[in-house]
Amino acid sequence: GAAWDLDFMLCLGGAVLGGAAVLVAGNSDQQTAYFGALLRGEVGGLALSEWEHGSDLLSNECVATQSDDHFVLRGVKGPINNGTRGAYVVVLARTGEQSDASGQTLFLLDRNTKGLEGELPFSSIGYRNMDLARVTLNDARVPASAVLGQVGEGFLHVRRTLEISRSGVAAMTCGALARATSLALEHARTRHLYQGPISDLPAVRGLVARCVARLVLGTALVRTTAHA
């Protein structure tokens, strides 16, 4: 799929990321809700990153405060794939001390949750259909049943989610490389220079051959890793 439309695969990838977290930590009701939306043609997302902290998830500042039988979420997550279009978004929020691996919790939020807002401040190059958004939580109130797994297990579940999804990212890059290699071959055969196609030139032939070899090697590595 990525070989033909990487835009589409990136949108689908966001839904898969959120779905992986629901599979890892969610109960049957949460899984029915999330994947039921996907079956209806909706998408979902996984809100991990914060602009100031990047992949340093333990430094995240989005906070979930418990009050009786509900939580109140405050903070900003971004950039988040499917942040404005997702029927559901899985949010990682701090329920304990900052930098504490046991102080993070995952929540499953419905798009219609009051206080949950998505906007598109991130302009990407080339992927115009990608919903790369900022998700703002303005005192978003959710029931305790929105917790995925148990309170304090969020970081553990995120690690497992990423472990089982990263090979998919590598597969998408192989798809993009396959398309790029196909375009390079077509160009080499149709572009003429010195009374012949440039594919006859040793330097060009060597370059294309290395691209093909890297594609074969990458695809084999992805298949082996995914199988493992």
Low-confidence ranges of the chain (pLDDT < 70): none
**Model pLDDT, residue 110:** 96
What is the per-residue pLDDT for 122?
72
Question: CB neighbours of 136 closer than 8 A, spacing ≥ 6?
Answer: 75, 76, 77, 116, 117, 118, 119
- Residue type for 164, please? I
In terms of Cα–Cα distance, which of 86, 99, 6, 95 is closest to 44? 86
Quote the pLDDT of residue 11.
81
pLDDT recorded at residue 220: 94
pLDDT of residue 128: 72
Q: How far apart are CA 144 and CA 69, in angstroms?
A: 6
Question: What pLDDT, on a 0 to 100 scale, did the predictor assign at position 124?
Answer: 72
pTM above 0.75, yes or no: yes
